Structure 1
């Protein structure tokens, strides 16, 4: 999930959260579904065991290969390596997307959305290695350990 900032949305979210804390019982919105109907939907969706179509299988393979090739770019300082584990996650996310839409099969669109989710969750650090010359094997100054931690006053 990507947290994109927009002034209007940030304003609405902040107003809602503050109103909840100010008067917990007063902030309610009409929701289109009852709790019971949502529970029925979730129970139904969980029971679906979607089958991966040939086209979705090909899309999964392409997505995995693309993620691997992007991760292996020379000079990239990626802190996250794409492995078979991420392929398994891609398959599970694709199946979950099919369940959300109550589909009996995993389609290419489900794989595309799952790929976006996986890419958004991957943390990459574009920073070079830090050199710690002079620190390895340096003696610890015992006086530093006895220094009181700073306190914050308001």
Structure 2
């Protein structure tokens, strides 16, 4: 008899502690739509600009992960005018993933865990995460021009 569920094994290392979790997921068809992952970060008052710059550098390293579709991950600081319109959120991240499973790989990776637990969570006042799927016929709208070759 086959189970209607799939097993997902997650293993995380944080410092010297090892945690292993087995999650049973219902077997469902994986969507073929690209998942767009957006995060906004608001820091606590008094967090140094040097630390915010480090967060940006660390987040940018995640674009090299295989679970980031075509390494499409961008990080930037708010240029909203007036500044009050951004509600205090200072950094945004947008990444693209082949599907929800690839997004979960990204979110559960050691690199993501290291960056969030070391550089973000201890210093954030608030964050917003928003994920959505892009239909294949609209994916061309997310295509950017190629980078010009250097002379």
Query: How high is the TM-score relative to the length of structure 2?
Result: 0.28
Query: More strand per residue: 1 or 2?
Result: 2
Greater Rg by CA: 1
Higher helix share: 1
Higher relative contact order (CA 8 A, sep 6+): 2
